[in-house]
Amino acid sequence: MNAAEHLLNVVDVGATCWEGQPPPGQASEIIGVGLTVVELRAGERLAKHRLLVRPARSTISPFRTELTGLTPTEVDGGLSFAEACRTLAARHRTGLLPWAGWGDYDRDRFTRQCRRTRAAYPFGHRHTNAKVAFTAAHALRGRPGMAQALKIADLPLEGRHHRGADDAWNIAALVLDLSGRGAWPGIADPDRC
């Protein structure tokens, strides 16, 4: 097996949001993609990436800025959604490598926005819901949020919670913890990858 067969992209999406309902004429859309490349066999996070996506149908609310630190000016300098999809596929091989997210939100959000905008879906079909894998490995009744899962696994929360690149980095730590225990789906023995 070659080294690429042990790589996994961990993805976390940020979208426009408001404290209450969206303002008239606005709809929630992707404004950022955090991506951490994980080498499962070595048990390492190799790279942390962030793509900013310029919103087309909404603006960055003060609530979103408070939550993530992202400002309207910063996000307005981002890529269009279609450009972000092309960049993910070309630069990060998202169509070829397996990927994971915390829950199904990221996959669902991309699916809906690609369908609505007719952008090419950038990911392959090998997706793992890390929240489900974590819940099963720890025999939990409920499915914890990422920050709570880090506490359960006795791992630190690194960076700013709710910021895509930092959340992807933290989810990757949880994936590696599961992989190290032999509890990551498809990997019974990390040394046999």
Lay out the sheet containing 30-39: strands in order across.
44-52, 30-39, 7-15, 99-101, 127-129
Q: What pLDDT shows up at residue 155?
A: 98
**Is the Cβ–Cβ distance between 120 and 86 less than 8 Å?**
yes
Q: Is residue 37 included in any domain, yes or no? A: yes
Give domain status of residue 111, yes or no: yes
Q: Residue 191 falls within a domain, yes or no?
A: no
- Going by pLDDT thresholds of 50, 70 and 90, the confidence category of residue 26 is very high
Bridging pattern class, strands 44-52 and 127-129: unpaired
Q: pLDDT digits over 82-109, tens only?
A: 999 999 999 999 999 999 999 999 999 9
Q: What is the pLDDT of residues 117-170, one digit of tens each?
A: 999 999 999 999 999 999 999 999 999 999 999 999 999 999 999 999 999 999
Query: How many angstroms separate the Cα of 163 from the Cα of each of 6, 13, 40, 147, 166?
Result: 26, 9, 23, 12, 5
Residue 65's domain is classified under what CATH number?
A: 3.30.420.10
* Residue 114 reports pLDDT greater than 80: yes
Based on C-alpha coordinates, what's the Rg of the chain?
Answer: 17
Site of tokens 């669902």: 108
Distances in Å between the Cα of 99 and the Cα atoms of 7, 27, 50, 80, 185 are 9, 26, 16, 22, 12
Tokens coding 102: 């915390």
pLDDT at 187: 55
Q: What is the mean pLDDT of the chain?
A: 94
Mean pLDDT to the nearest integer, 11-28: 96
Number of domains in the chain: 1
Q: What is the pLDDT of residue 191?
A: 42
Q: For residue 3, what pLDDT band results from cuts at 50, 70 and 90?
A: low
Q: Is residue 193 included in any domain, yes or no?
A: no
C-beta of residue 18 within 8 angstroms of C-beta of residue 44: no
CB 28 within 8 A of CB 16: yes
Residue 84 lies in domain: 3-185
Residue 192 within any structural domain of the chain: no
- Residue 100, domain member (yes or no): yes
The pLDDT of residue 2 is 54
Q: Answer whether residue 128 is part of any domain.
A: yes
Question: For the chain, how far is it from start to end, CA to CA, in angstroms?
Answer: 8
- 35 in a domain, yes or no? yes
Tell me: pLDDT of 192 over 70. no
Instruction: Average the pLDDT over 28-34 and give the result.
Output: 97
